[in-house]
Structure 1
Amino acid sequence: MNNSVLSSVDQRTKLVGENRLELLMFQLGTRHIFAMNVFKIKEVIGIPTFNNMPGSHQNLKGVMNYRGSAIPIIDLRQAIKLRGGSIGEDAHNVIITEYNRSVQGFIIGKVMSIVNTSWETI
């Protein structure tokens, strides 16, 4: 394995012991910036093709095939009840996340950056 990759992995795992974390900063089509813990993110992809689910909750935009598994795709802007409702035209990416062994995708706007910070500043 490449030494730079090993160094990067080592640096990121040390963050936990130092009470630090990395946050993926993104927008939801508004001027506000949101963040998600990088350790919970499996992948960031472009807007995929997904199947609509008739009769499902309004925040569930559909289901997509992710590496052989069907996962829900959720409109994050609508789910947190931001003014303007659905992300619509501002949708640029999907963040594939895993929480408590549950994998889901969140539709977001533009990805801004990754920030290294401490838990104390949040």
Structure 2
Amino acid sequence: MDVTDLNGINEYLTFSLAGELYAINVGNIREVLGVPRITRVPRMPEFMSGVINLRGNVVPVLDLRLKFGLGSTEITEDTSIIVTEIDNFFDDDEENCFTIGIFSDNVEKVETIEPSAIEPPPKIGIAIDTEFIVGMGKIGESFVIILNINKLLSGHELLDSIQEEEALS
């Protein structure tokens, strides 16, 4: 199976959402933050919680629970924002990645998951979009859903977020 790791990186940041374990390749992770003040931007899609100020930069924040149909994220002392970079979104050479924050109920730890321990996304006989899932990683006796952050949002959804971000700048 082609796991699309980033330059041979087999390490993944694991985090929980609605009681399930998810992971993102550490090559896409910029940093993990506590939840700062979030500014809601009018007309953003419902799953976009708003924007944060990250050292003077406007960074949109995605609520994965809403995106996945799991209800909205409740902000607790364990809630974090994982700041990620989506690669090769822009066609020009000046900017080739897009920075976005993602809510997590709880950040767990970095795990090494070898490509041989990753199974393809399940096929359950109905048409569901699993393009944003790299696969199901095995950690001990448990599975972790490995996300492809580069395919989590469609180009249209990202373009809407970028236009909102540029309007604030």
Q: TM-score, normalised by structure 2?
A: 0.56
Aligned match of 2:112: 116
Query: What is the identity, as a one-letter code, of the residue corresponding to 1:56?
Result: M
Contact conserved, 1:92 with 1:109, CA < 8 A, in 2? yes
Shift of 1:20: 4.9
State the distance in 2 between where 1:16 and 1:57 align.
29
Shift of 1:118: 1.1
Aligned match of 1:70: 58
Alignment pair present for 1:36 and 2:4: no
Alignment pair present for 1:102 and 2:98: yes
Which 5+ residue runs of structure 2 have no aligned equivalent? 88-96, 119-169
Contact conserved, 2:6 with 2:27, CA < 8 A, in 1? no
Which structure: greater strand fraction? 1
Alignment pair present for 1:22 and 2:11: yes
Contact conserved, 2:9 with 2:26, CA < 8 A, in 1? no
Query: What is the identity, as a one-letter code, of the residue corresponding to 2:99?
Result: V
Percentage identity across aligned positions? 30
State the distance in 2 between where 1:27 and 1:16 align.
22
Q: CA deviation digits over 1:18-51, x for unaligned, max 9?
A: x4511111111x2211111111000000011121
State the distance in 1 between where 2:34 and 2:86 align.
21
- Structure 2 counterpart SS, 1:49: coil
- Structure 1 counterpart SS, 2:10: strand
Q: TM-score, normalised by structure 1?
A: 0.76
Which structure: greater helix fraction? 1
Equivalent residue pairs, number: 104
In angstroms, what is the RMSD of aligned CA positions? 2.0
Contact conserved, 2:15 with 2:104, CA < 8 A, in 1? yes
State the distance in 1 between where 2:106 and 2:43 align.
29
